[in-house]
Amino acid sequence: MPSRLQPRALAKVGLDCVFAGAVVAITVAGGFGLQALLAVAPSASLFSCGVMYVAWRRGIAAAVAAIVMAILAFDYFFLPPLHSFAIRAHDVPQLVFFAAAALFVAYLCDSNRRINHARRRLELELRASHRRVAEAQRELQQTVDSIPAMLSVYRPDGIHSLVNRTWMDYTGLSLEEAARKGGTLFHPDDPERETWRQALASGRPMAAEAPIRGADGTFQWFSIRRAPLRDAGGRIQKWFSIGFNIEDRKIAEDALRDREARLAATERELRLTLDLIPTLAWRTAADGLAEYLNQRWLDYTGLSLEAARGWGWISVVHPDDRAQLHDRWQEMLASHKPGEIEARMRRLDGNYRWFLFRAEPHRGNGGEIVGWYGTNTDIEDRKRAEFELQRSRLYLAEAQKLSKTGSFAWDAAADRHQWSDETYQIAAIEPATVVTTDLLLQRIHPDDRLKMINELGRAKDGAEAWDYEIRMLMPDQSSKQLRVVAHRLHRGDEAGEIVGALMDITETRRAQEALNAARNALAHAGRIATLGEISATIAHEVNQPLAAIVANGQACLRFLDRPAPNLDDVRGAVEWIVKDGNRAAEVIRRVRGLMTKAEFERRQLGLESVVAEVVALIQNEIHSQGIVLRCDFGAAPPVMADHVQLQQVVLNLIVNAIEAMHQVVDRPRMLTISTSCDTAGRAIVAVEDSGIGVPDDPQALFDPFVSTKPNGLGMGLSICRSIIEEHGGRLWATANAGHPGATFRFTLASATELARAAE
């Protein structure tokens, strides 16, 4: 610092010396002037003036320099010896006095100068500080005004003494108006007024939230804080107040409160809904611990909400299902995906029922799982139904296996075949093979393929029912006889599905054939037996023409032994012989016809001729029994039947009728055989007798081995019925109405009806 100040100080000293020198020089000049003009010897006081001037202008240092220079100049120019610095002794006091006086005056002048200088500087500083204060006040006002809060200052009595721009802008009041009616800004009912009154009284700071009326008359919420400013003595000088507009926060808070209230109401409603919905429902936290179970759930299980919370609910799950349920639930929690599982749950009464547990994750706004919602649905009935279904499926499969019957469904439009296991088994096709119509046709016996194609084609023609037999080729080239029965199942859709069953009737067919053979043999035996019974009649039938032949032969011989034989007589006798021979041959032909084991052959024939042939054969028997025979042939249509079998039926019925009249002695023995046509166009044959009659329910007579005769086999009617039924007809017996005896009838479809049905 000194090194920096030195040049300035030196410069000042230099300047002071120059200034002092200049003034002294002027003073010297003045002295010469006075001397010249006024002839007055200049005095030391002239130089005092110079020193005073120097001291006034440049301070004490320059004044000292001026004093020294003035003494030297005064001595040199004006004190004798002139122009010499030598000082006479008696001048020394004058010069010392001058120096002391000049120094004193210089000191005074310098002091005065300093004081003036200091005053001037002070004045300047004061002015500057006034300016700064005004500036600071303006800045403060601006700052206070620009604060986005309502600032105000109160007198100790609570009257406004300052308000900022924000305050005025909001309230629309000036400071004067505020001082007059500041209190009216608050709502009359607002507790803030009371709080403010209490703060003023107690002198303690206050904080409140209150609505303040704005310039437009509406109220907005403010957070207000007020604190007192005290002087050193603790007396309140003023109150500072700041108010923040919290209207937005209040609105947000109100909205939040509103939303919370709505949320609470919604939750209440949700709970109520959950409690009322007719299912067991629950909610868990994100970690799977149960938080809430609805009233129905609690009512059902009898658990309290506290007991069921967390993992408590698992206590009502069937012990056998717990581990599985636990694992599955953990799996779902880990996968974050909805899922379901079935398990048994204990009811309040201790019974377990099957339930479907279904859970769905509930996600927050960020997509994270915040909990799970779930339901338990009672599926006991469905489970039972499933169990029953499974059982009946097993039964069905077993029944199908035992009965060798398979089932199938065929969606003709989509050509989709669905087969049961037994169907695959019957068809000898690997189960689970996808069956197509082509595959099916490949397995059909080549001779039946066309038939199969026709049957399949009927589906397209809209046929509703199927019943046909078909042969299927087995891998070992053997064939199976199948009977297919199906119908169309309509389930609302147009085409519907064809559902049916196929039966392996290979064995049945073989048994049927064996049965047919046995029955034919039995029928044959029956015919032989019947013929045996009427053998006497037959012998008589044959004997009669034979006796006539013998008699006519003998007559013929007699005619030829005459000397002149009459050839006309001989011819006549021979003609009789031929006629009788033919008659006997005819009887034998009929008997042979009945005795032959001819193959079953259907052809068109008239029932009258069948009846007539049988009657011709047994006519003698009828007459020998004293029976009155009546044949009443109506308009019976021709039928398609086996000639011999039909003869056997008629013969059997007539023989039975004859036998039924054996014991009848008290009334005429009447046998009426009639043919006619019923209302449906079928041919009817009725054999009516006046015998002992049949029981009220004559059905049992048709069972095999039912006989009332000592030597009877009881097979006749049984064979007759099976023959008629095989021809598509019906045989039955009725007691005669109003008179004794019974009538046996059978019907047969007319040949034309059969032909029409076959088309």
Residues that bind ligand ADP (CB under 6 A): 656-657, 660, 689, 691-694, 701, 706-709, 712-718, 742
Nearest distance, CB of residue 607 and ligand ADP, angstroms: 19
Nearest distance, CB of residue 742 and ligand ADP, angstroms: 4
Closer CB to ligand ADP, 182 or 741, in the complex: 741
Minimal CB distance to ligand ADP: which residue?
A: 716
Closer CB to ligand ADP, 390 or 708, in the complex: 708
**Residue 657, burial from CB neighbour count under 10 angstroms (0-12, 13-18, 19+):** buried
Nearest distance, CB of residue 749 and ligand ADP, angstroms: 24
Phi/psi at 418 (5° precision): -125, 120
Nearest distance, CB of residue 698 and ligand ADP, angstroms: 8
Alpha-carbon gap, residue 121 to 119, rounded angstroms: 5
Nearest distance, CB of residue 666 and ligand ADP, angstroms: 17
Where helices occur in 461-566 by DSSP H, the ranges are 506-533, 535-561
Q: What is the DSSP string of 123-139?
A: HHHHHHHHHHHHHHHHH
Closer CB to ligand ADP, 565 or 695, in the complex: 695
| Of residues 310, 326, 306, 308, the one with CA closest to residue 318 | 326
Closer CB to ligand ADP, 286 or 713, in the complex: 713
Residue in this structure with the two tokens 């721009």, named with its chain if needed: 165
Q: What is the 3-state secondary structure (H, E, C) of 642-653?
A: EHHHHHHHHHHH
Closer CB to ligand ADP, 715 or 748, in the complex: 715
Closer CB to ligand ADP, 407 or 718, in the complex: 718
Phi/psi at 153 (5° precision): -120, 135
CB atoms within 10 A of CB 316: 19
Could you tell me the sign of the dihedral formed by the alpha carbons of 60, 64, 70, 73, in that order? Answer: negative
Nearest distance, CB of residue 722 and ligand ADP, angstroms: 12
Closer CB to ligand ADP, 228 or 693, in the complex: 693
Per the DSSP assignment, residues forming a β-bridge with 162 are 153
Alpha-carbon gap, residue 83 to 44, rounded angstroms: 17
Q: Identify each DSSP E strand in 182-289 by its residue range.
A: 206-213, 219-230, 236-245, 280-285
Nearest distance, CB of residue 646 and ligand ADP, angstroms: 16
Closer CB to ligand ADP, 281 or 622, in the complex: 622
Closer CB to ligand ADP, 617 or 701, in the complex: 701
Closer CB to ligand ADP, 472 or 594, in the complex: 594
Nearest distance, CB of residue 469 and ligand ADP, angstroms: 32
Nearest distance, CB of residue 590 and ligand ADP, angstroms: 21
* CA atoms lying within 13 Å on the CB side of residue 685: 24
Nearest distance, CB of residue 383 and ligand ADP, angstroms: 57
Alpha-carbon gap, residue 137 to 145, rounded angstroms: 12
Alpha-carbon gap, residue 683 to 454, rounded angstroms: 33
CB atoms within 10 A of CB 729: 21
Asked if residue 454 lies in contact with residue 438, where contact means CB atoms within 8 angstroms, the answer is no
